[in-house]
Amino acid sequence: MFNAPRYEIWTNQSPPSTQSITDTDSNETLQDEQANKKRSKRLRPNSSPNKKYLIDDTTPELSNINLMQSLPTQTTLLSKLVGDMDALKKQNAEIQKSNQDIHKINEEIRESISFMNIQFELLKNEVEYLKKERQQQQQYITELERKLLDTDHKSRSSCIEIRNIPPLEQESVSKLNDLL
């Protein structure tokens, strides 16, 4: 029979022997090792009470007297706590009211920012439209100037200038043609 190697974690124990052990022998050795283990507890400090609890086991009359003596201080502490709680409740109410006011102001700011954003977008679109229109007008002007120059060049080639002719009264194109 083939024995596979065993892997175990050994803490505070001596390492296992290297001899092969059968299953029944291993159970016996484990039980022996557990029986040999000593449990170490932390030592109790000297200042800790020995089986005494917070309430003294003395006579009930003494404990009543102790309670009666501490009652006024407890009452004053309780009244101070109640006063502090009332002050905290008032502060909390004021804080909640101021928070509501802040939320209202924030909502108004959001609305105004939204309105300004819409107006900005409208102005931006209008500026873009005006830029495009200006560019189109500029192109139209340059084309008109080019046409004007072309017509000037064409008219000069067909234009005849006759000099040294005295001006006539009520000059017309037909009279000028007749004169030529």
Please say if the pLDDT value at position 46 is more than 80: no
pLDDT in tens, 121-161: 999 999 999 999 999 999 999 999 999 999 888 877 776 77
Left if phi > 0, otherwise alpha if psi is -120 to 50, otherwise beta: which for 4? Answer: beta
Q: Which two tokens stand for residue 4?
A: 């596979």
pLDDT attached to residue 31: 62
39 compared with 179, residue with greater pLDDT:
179
pLDDT attached to residue 171: 80
The percent of residues in the chain predicted with pLDDT above 90, rounded, is: 42
Please say if the pLDDT value at position 62 is more than 80: no
* CA-based R_g, the chain, Å: 56
Residue ranges per structural domain of the chain: 63-153
The phi, psi pair for 47, rounded to 5°, reads: -80, -10
Question: What is the average pLDDT across 52-80?
Answer: 74
Please say if the pLDDT value at position 98 is more than 70: yes
Query: CB of 14 within 8 A of CB of 31?
Result: no
Helix (H) or strand (E) holding 102: helix 60-158
